[in-house]
């Protein structure tokens, strides 16, 4: 018997609808978790087209934190992520050792990240759920976006769709004027249909489907099977690939002192980024650049750069945050380049931050 064209088309449409519905249901029920997670290394980050979902990070974080302890959430950029520091010798693991048994430490910093991002939103949600939370992120004299930065804008819009998300009106108001309408629309749809959640669950645990030059030989491998590739550069290699003139030129640009109006703008941005409930236990870390290059600056520029860091600490304190300069006295062997710390630098930073966190907790009633 001949089947009409209209019937075939209806059957195709029904099949597509049923398939999409089944995938959506699966996206809602799959047990998303980042088993084996230590930090967002190269192969489980947007650098290789893996975009961790907020729900997977939340589920993982809830398994790692402890209501009977102080839970330290590390955010920010590659500085606190620990670029150039191998597993077992990176900042957050050394911080955990320094803090001892009364603390947990979770590193959610991302290369290229900012104050706002996955780490902040998870810290905020944990705080709202009754956990004792300390948050830290590295900064300089720039005004962070309350919804994050590119390519991490999706995180905020995805976070908004989760039942554990916390409202913070200054951030919500900023989002209303955001130009990232496509990202917002896409993550709103994902909140209903959960297609990103299903894809990430499959990609992390079973099969990855997006090609990346960094994983070109076997890009289809599930991302949980990749080891953290960070390694410590041999001492002789440190700084060898960097042109000192370019580094000094960059530092000279950074040494341009913000005007009072610019400082006010930065202060307002810091106020809008960090929710009130987190402000008393948030550290903004201003980590100085390597003396290898600051020593090559003319004395006037070098002094001006140091004064900008000092002023950043003071400005953070003025808006109720804890601005700190833990890298002030580090030497050039404590860096792998102008910005990122070596293992020796990570050890020093971990010791400095552990002392500051313990002092904060001892001062609290």
Structure-block tokens of residue 106: 């979770």
Rounded CA-CA distance 82/80 in Å is: 5
Alpha carbon dihedral 156, 158, 159, 162, in 10-degree steps, equals 160
Structure-block tokens of residue 53: 């979902």
**Would residue 25 count as lying in a domain?**
no
**Would residue 4 count as lying in a domain?**
no
Sign of CA dihedral 224, 226, 232, 233: negative
When mean pLDDT is compared across 174-183, 218-227, 275-284, the lowest value belongs to 174-183
Rounded CA-CA distance 218/197 in Å is: 22
Rounded CA-CA distance 196/162 in Å is: 13
**Would residue 120 count as lying in a domain?**
yes
Cis preceding linkage at 326, omega within 30: no
| Residues 6+ positions from 104 with CB-CB distance below 8 Å | 64, 65, 66, 69, 70, 71, 72, 96
Each residue of 211-227: pLDDT tens digit? 988 887 788 999 999 99
Kindly indicate the confidence band of residue 179, based on its pLDDT and cuts at 50, 70 and 90: low
Sign of CA dihedral 101, 103, 106, 112: negative
Place of tokens 């980050």: 45
**Would residue 21 count as lying in a domain?**
no
**Would residue 15 count as lying in a domain?**
no
**Would residue 5 count as lying in a domain?**
no
- What angle, 0 to 180 degrees and rounded to 10, lies between the N-to-C axes of helices 260-273 and 169-176? 110
Where in the sequence is the domain holding 299, given as residue range(s)?
31-363
Rounded CA-CA distance 244/247 in Å is: 5
Rounded CA-CA distance 119/358 in Å is: 21
Torsion-angle region of residue 245: left (phi > 0), alpha (psi -120 to 50) or beta? alpha
Structure-block tokens of residue 116: 């706002």
pLDDT value at position 236? 66
Computed on alpha carbons and rounded to an integer, the radius of gyration of the chain in Å comes to: 23
| Residues 6+ positions from 157 with CB-CB distance below 8 Å | 147, 175, 180, 183, 184, 186, 187, 188
Kindly indicate the confidence band of residue 181, based on its pLDDT and cuts at 50, 70 and 90: confident
Number of compact structural domains in the chain: 1
Task: Over range 118-146, report the average pLDDT.
Answer: 94
**Would residue 7 count as lying in a domain?**
no
- pTM of the entire predicted model: 0.94
Each residue of 281-328: pLDDT tens digit? 999 999 999 999 999 999 999 999 999 999 999 999 988 899 999 999
**Would residue 119 count as lying in a domain?**
yes
Rounded CA-CA distance 246/236 in Å is: 20
Q: pLDDT at residue 3 above 90?
A: no
Grouping H, G, I as helix, E, B as strand and the rest as coil, residue 96 is helix
Q: pLDDT at residue 260 above 80?
A: yes
């Amino acid at each position: 018997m001949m089947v009409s064209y209209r019937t075939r088309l209806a059957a195709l449409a029904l099949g597509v609808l049923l398939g999409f519905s089944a995938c959506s249901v699966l996206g809602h029920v799959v047990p998303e978790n980042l088993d084996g997670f230590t930090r967002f290394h190269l192969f489980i980050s947007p650098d290789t087209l893996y975009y961790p979902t907020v729900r997977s990070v939340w589920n993982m974080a809830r398994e790692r934190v402890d209501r009977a302890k102080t839970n330290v959430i590390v955010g920010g950029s590659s500085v606190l992520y620990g670029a150039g520091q191998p597993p077992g010798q990176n900042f957050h693991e050394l911080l955990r050792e320094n803090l001892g048994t009364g603390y947990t430490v979770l590193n959610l910093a991302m290369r290229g990240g900012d104050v706002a991002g996955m780490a902040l939103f998870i810290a905020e949600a944990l705080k709202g759920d009754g956990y004792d939370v300390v948050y830290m992120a590295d900064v300089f004299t720039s005004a962070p976006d309350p919804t994050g930065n590119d390519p991490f804008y999706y995180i905020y819009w995805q976070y908004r769709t989760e039942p554990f998300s916390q409202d913070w009106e200054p951030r919500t108001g900023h989002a209303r004027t955001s130009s990232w309408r496509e990202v917002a629309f896409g993550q709103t749809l994902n909140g209903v249909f959960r297609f990103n959640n299903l894809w990430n669950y499959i990609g992390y645990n079973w099969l990855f489907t997006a090609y990346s030059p960094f994983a070109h030989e076997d890009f289809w491998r599930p991302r949980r099977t990749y080891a953290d590739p960070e390694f410590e550069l041999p001492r002789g290699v440190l700084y060898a690939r960097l042109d000192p003139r370019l580094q000094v030129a960059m530092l000279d640009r950074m040494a341009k002192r913000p005007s009072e109006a610019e400082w006010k703008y930065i202060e307002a941005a810091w106020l809008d980024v960090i929710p009130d409930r987190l402000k008393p236990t948030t550290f903004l870390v201003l980590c100085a650049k390597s003396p290898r290059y600051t020593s090559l600056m003319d004395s006037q520029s070098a002094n001006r750069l140091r004064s900008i860091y000092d002023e950043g600490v003071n400005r953070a304190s003025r808006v109720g945050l804890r601005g700190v300069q833990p890298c002030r006295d580090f030497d050039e062997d404590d860096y792998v380049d102008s910005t990122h710390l070596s293992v020796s630098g990570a050890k020093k930073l971990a010791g400095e931050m552990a002392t500051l966190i313990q002092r904060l907790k001892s001062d609290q009633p």
